[in-house]
């Protein structure tokens, strides 16, 4: 007799793997009923991961989105599931235990049934609280094994890891093949090994299609005893997303499994609506390369969930790099060349970094180090010259023990910089702080919201929540969307005409941050400061002094002054914590001193002075964007 098997639609992950944003709440509500009407899903992934953060980024209340989006599935008896990142909750950096506990209780009240918890290092220490808090809040605690492929990540390693997760409270196991690089036969062996030891534990397989293994892996997982297979659907299946529903459904039927039929009329409606959402605005944030499968990713093993942000990062980095190349008389680098170099460098740095599983956030850390290495080496500088604070925290054990040892190159740098390994429990580094955020809510006169959901949002995403409350998030998002549409219209119009007639384009009303002036035939770029209220920022609310007009460095010298330039693009901050003292005009700094921070590609990079002197001007503005080679400080 054939065995029944179930399917889960990963609707949230479909969007995150394709681009930056997810649909608005009104759009999610519209698509919910057709998904239900398809009649083939026992579960739908509705939220978690970056879902709430990206809602905040375009100025929506994520709590309303979660409640209204999950309700139709709750009513229909379809289980809803979310993805959470263990020690990091649903953000990219660690969070205190009291905020994590509130998250699980709240998400259950908002309509989420299952918490899929994973740790970027597969560290059981960081997941014990997740399983405990999920069950306390009434959720099903699912432990996810972050699958990667290395000499250390063997079939036996994953089977034993599942044992550990179950021992500390996991009620289900997910095989999280986030890069789709799990070899199909090995995936089947892992599932079988878990089922042999724990026949009553539900096993769910989640595989991205990026390098092409996931269809075969889904079949091997099903034959080995998996209970549920995650799928995507057109127009967002394949590419860096997930294997398509129709393909997996037909394959499993042919293999003799029992599955409910698909209501194709409803399927086409979901497909149509999803395309409509892309045409509305979401497609502006989807790189076409993310819609393609790429077997080159078998080597670096970068996950589908980060490829959307990766391509956005590359767009910025290639512009910045080529600006430097042109300035220094060197040939430009294409995006394809940069991508190939990046993949090669990931393969080099990953073993050196102790083989962290390539999953959020550590896939970003590995990718960022590799990308910085590629960029710095293209400029004739040394490998490892820019490593973020977040990355050093991982390398030194502040997120848990790495599976492999650090390479000799990184060990030497750590010793030289007097970095001490941490061997304690990672959660102990982040004491409870919910009361601090409650005091801030009270001070601002903000309502805690139903089930303390607004308090939770501030505590989990402080910078994004403040920008949402102030309206700055919506304003920034609309300006960015208008600019993207304008560029797209200009490109389209230019490709359709052979004349040189300027094309009228509507662009955001943004005051200039710099102008170029000509003095006796010599050109100078002048930065302009505006008397405006400093915005909230993710690191601190230290006010930024206004700066005067300044002439950027030429060969490191401006008149009698020396300059310190930004080594990478991002957001400039004088401090990363409210307790930290920022450098100020009149301070004497020494080469190697940390003088500022730049947030780039989701991590914080400490910026060290490359020369000594007294600060006479702080040119960069706290909390504002800065380009590579822009002047940050003038010193004498």
Look at the block and give the residue holding tokens 């940069």.
338
Angle at 372 between CA 370 and CA 374, to 5 degrees: 70
Q: What percent of the chain has pLDDT over 90?
A: 60
Predicted confidence (pLDDT) at residue 501 exceeds the cutoff of 50: no
CA 4 from centre of chain: 35
Predicted confidence (pLDDT) at residue 440 exceeds the cutoff of 70: yes
pLDDT at position 534: 37
- Pairwise CA distance, residues 130 & 88, whole Å: 10
Beta bridge partners of 614: 588
The band of 219, judged by pLDDT with boundaries at 50, 70 and 90, is: very high
Predicted confidence (pLDDT) at residue 454 exceeds the cutoff of 50: yes
Predicted confidence (pLDDT) at residue 143 exceeds the cutoff of 80: yes
Average pLDDT over residues 263-291: 93
Look at the block and give the residue holding tokens 């969307």.
481
Kindly tell me the sign of the dihedral angle through the C-alpha atoms of 304, 271, 70, 245.
negative
Predicted confidence (pLDDT) at residue 184 exceeds the cutoff of 90: yes
The band of 62, judged by pLDDT with boundaries at 50, 70 and 90, is: very high
- What Cα–Cα distance (Å) separates residue 370 from each residue in 349, 359, 377, 586, 597? 7, 15, 10, 37, 19
Average pLDDT over residues 147-174: 96
pLDDT at position 497: 58
CATH topology of domain 6-286: TIM Barrel (3.20.20)
Mean pLDDT lowest among 109-118, 214-223, 309-318, 533-542: 533-542
395's tokens: 């390398």
Average pLDDT over residues 283-303: 80
CA 234 from centre of chain: 23
Spell out the domain ranges in the chain: 6-286, 299-429, 514-635
- Pairwise CA distance, residues 23 & 242, whole Å: 18
Predicted confidence (pLDDT) at residue 376 exceeds the cutoff of 50: yes
**Helices of type H across 168-230:** 184-197, 214-224
Cβ within 8 Å of residue 443, ≥6 positions away: none
DSSP codes of every residue in 308-355: HHHHHHHHHHHHHHHHHHHHTT-----HHHHHHHHHHHHHHHHHHTT-
Mean pLDDT lowest among 217-231, 459-473, 561-575: 561-575
Predicted confidence (pLDDT) at residue 508 exceeds the cutoff of 50: no
Q: What is the DSSP letter of 535?
A: P
Average pLDDT over residues 43-60: 93
Predicted confidence (pLDDT) at residue 515 exceeds the cutoff of 90: no
Half-sphere exposure (Cβ direction) of 96: Cα atoms closer than 13 Å: 13
The band of 548, judged by pLDDT with boundaries at 50, 70 and 90, is: very low
Identify the CA nearest to 22 among candidates 34, 7, 35, 12. 12
Predicted confidence (pLDDT) at residue 598 exceeds the cutoff of 70: yes
The band of 311, judged by pLDDT with boundaries at 50, 70 and 90, is: low
Q: What is the DSSP letter of 282?
A: G
Between 308 and 447, the more confident residue is: 447
pLDDT at position 133: 98
Between 308 and 393, the more confident residue is: 393
pLDDT at position 309: 60
CATH topology of domain 514-635: OB fold (Dihydrolipoamide Acetyltransferase, E2P) (2.40.50)
Q: What is the 3-state secondary structure (H, E, C) of 220-249?
A: HHHHHCCCEEEEECCCCCCCCCECEHHHHH
Mean pLDDT lowest among 14-23, 225-234, 452-461: 14-23
pLDDT at position 494: 67
214's tokens: 């996931």
pLDDT at position 606: 82
Half-sphere exposure (Cβ direction) of 570: Cα atoms closer than 13 Å: 24
The band of 543, judged by pLDDT with boundaries at 50, 70 and 90, is: very low
Predicted confidence (pLDDT) at residue 504 exceeds the cutoff of 70: no
Mean pLDDT lowest among 111-120, 384-393, 480-489, 551-560: 551-560
Average pLDDT over residues 213-217: 96
Q: What is the mean pLDDT of the chain?
A: 86
443's tokens: 């001070």
pLDDT at position 288: 84
**Backbone dihedral angles phi then psi of residue 516, each to the nearest 5 degrees:** -105, 125
The band of 496, judged by pLDDT with boundaries at 50, 70 and 90, is: low
Calculate helix-pair angle for 62-76, 97-110, nearest 10 degrees. Answer: 50
Average pLDDT over residues 274-288: 92
Beta bridge partners of 114: 81, 140
The band of 510, judged by pLDDT with boundaries at 50, 70 and 90, is: very low
Average pLDDT over residues 273-295: 89
The band of 385, judged by pLDDT with boundaries at 50, 70 and 90, is: confident
- Pairwise CA distance, residues 370 & 367, whole Å: 5
**Backbone dihedral angles phi then psi of residue 569, each to the nearest 5 degrees:** -90, 160
User: Mind listing the pLDDT tens digit for each residue in 339-355?
Assistant: 888 888 988 999 999 99
Predicted confidence (pLDDT) at residue 553 exceeds the cutoff of 60: no
Identify the CA nearest to 297 among candidates 373, 386, 222, 358. 358
**Backbone dihedral angles phi then psi of residue 47, each to the nearest 5 degrees:** -155, -165
Average pLDDT over residues 134-146: 97
Calculate helix-pair angle for 97-110, 124-136, nearest 10 degrees. Answer: 40
155's tokens: 């079939």
pLDDT at position 628: 78
**Helices of type H across 82-172:** 97-110, 124-136, 155-167
- Pairwise CA distance, residues 368 & 632, whole Å: 22
The band of 622, judged by pLDDT with boundaries at 50, 70 and 90, is: confident
Between 555 and 33, the more confident residue is: 33
pLDDT at position 617: 92
Predicted confidence (pLDDT) at residue 489 exceeds the cutoff of 90: no
Predicted confidence (pLDDT) at residue 557 exceeds the cutoff of 50: no
Mean pLDDT lowest among 134-148, 411-425, 602-616: 602-616
Predicted confidence (pLDDT) at residue 276 exceeds the cutoff of 80: yes
The band of 306, judged by pLDDT with boundaries at 50, 70 and 90, is: low
137's tokens: 């809040």
Predicted confidence (pLDDT) at residue 421 exceeds the cutoff of 50: yes
Predicted confidence (pLDDT) at residue 521 exceeds the cutoff of 50: no
Beta bridge partners of 518: 523
Torsion of CA 201, 207, 212, 216, to 10 degrees: 20
């Amino acid at each position: 007799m054939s065995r029944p098997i179930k399917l889960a639609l990963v609707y949230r992950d479909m969007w995150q793997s394709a681009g930056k944003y997810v649909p608005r709440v009104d759009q999610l509500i519209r698509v919910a009923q057709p998904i239900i009407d398809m009649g083939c899903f026992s579960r739908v992934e509705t939220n978690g991961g970056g879902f709430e953060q990206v809602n905040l980024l375009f100025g929506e209340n994520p709590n309303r989105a979660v409640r209204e989006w999950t309700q139709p599935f709750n009513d229909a008896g379809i289980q809803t599931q979310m993805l959470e990142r263990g020690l990091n909750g649903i953000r990219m950096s660690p969070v205190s235990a009291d905020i994590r506990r509130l998250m699980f209780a709240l998400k259950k009240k908002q309509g989420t049934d299952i918490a899929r918890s994973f740790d970027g290092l597969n560290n059981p220490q960081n997941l014990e609280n997740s399983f405990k808090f999920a069950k306390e809040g009434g959720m099903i605690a699912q432990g996810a094994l972050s699958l990667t492929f290395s000499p250390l990540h063997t079939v036996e390693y994953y089977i034993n890891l599942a044992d550990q997760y179950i021992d500390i409270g996991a009620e289900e196991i997910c095989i999280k093949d986030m890069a789709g690089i799990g070899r199909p036969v090995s995936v089947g062996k892992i599932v079988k090994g878990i089922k042999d030891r724990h026949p009553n534990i539900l096993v769910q397989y989640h595989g991205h299609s990026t390098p092409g293994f996931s269809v075969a892996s889904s079949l091997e997982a099903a034959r080995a005893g998996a209970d549920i297979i995650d799928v995507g659907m057109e127009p967002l299946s394949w590419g860096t997303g997930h294997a398509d529903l129709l393909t997996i459904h037909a394959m499993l039927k042919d293999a003799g499994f029992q599955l409910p039929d698909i209501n194709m009329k409803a399927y086409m409606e979901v497909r149509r609506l999803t395309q409509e959402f892309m045409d509305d605005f979401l497609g502006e944030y989807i790189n076409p390369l993310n819609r393609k499968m790429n077997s080159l990713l078998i080597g670096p093993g970068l996950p589908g969930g980060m490829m959307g942000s990766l391509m956005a990062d590359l767009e910025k980095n290639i512009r910045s790099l080529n600006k430097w190349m042109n300035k220094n008389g060197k040939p430009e680098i294409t995006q394809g060349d940069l991508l190939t170099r990046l993949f090669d460098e990931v393969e080099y740095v990953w073993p050196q970094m102790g083989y962290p599983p390539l999953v959020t956030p550590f896939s970003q850390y590995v990718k960022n180090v590799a990308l910085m290495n590629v960029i710095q080496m293209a400029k004739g500088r040394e490998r490892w010259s820019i490593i973020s604070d977040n990355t050093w925290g991982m390398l030194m054990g502040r997120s848990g023990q790495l599976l492999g040892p650090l390479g000799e190159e990184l060990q030497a740098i750590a010793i030289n910089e007097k970095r001490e390994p941490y061997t304690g429990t990672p959660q102990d580094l982040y004491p409870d702080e919910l009361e601090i955020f409650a005091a801030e809510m009270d001070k601002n006169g903000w309502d805690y919201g139903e089930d303390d959901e607004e308090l939770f949002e501030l505590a989990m995403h402080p910078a994004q929540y403040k920008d949402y409350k102030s309206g700055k998030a919506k304003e920034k998002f609309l300006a960015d969307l208008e600019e993207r549409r304008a560029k797209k219209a200009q490109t389209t119009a230019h490709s359709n005409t052979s004349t040189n007639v300027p094309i009228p384009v509507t662009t955001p009303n943004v005051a200039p941050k710099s102008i170029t002036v000509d003095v006796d035939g010599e050109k100078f770029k002048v930065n302009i400061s505006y008397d405006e209220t400093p915005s909230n920022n993710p690191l601190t609310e230290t006010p930024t002094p206004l700066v005067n007009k300044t002439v950027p460095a030429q060969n490191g010298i401006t008149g009698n002054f020396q300059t310190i330039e930004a080594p990478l693009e991002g957001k400039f901050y004088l401090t990363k914590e409210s307790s930290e003292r920022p450098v100020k005009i009149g301070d004497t700094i020494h080469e190697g001193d940390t003088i500022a921070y730049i947030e780039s590609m989701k991590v914080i990079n400490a910026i060290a002075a490359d020369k000594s002197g007294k600060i006479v001007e702080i040119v960069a503005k706290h909390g504002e964007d800065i380009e590579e080679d822009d002047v940050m400080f003038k010193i004498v």
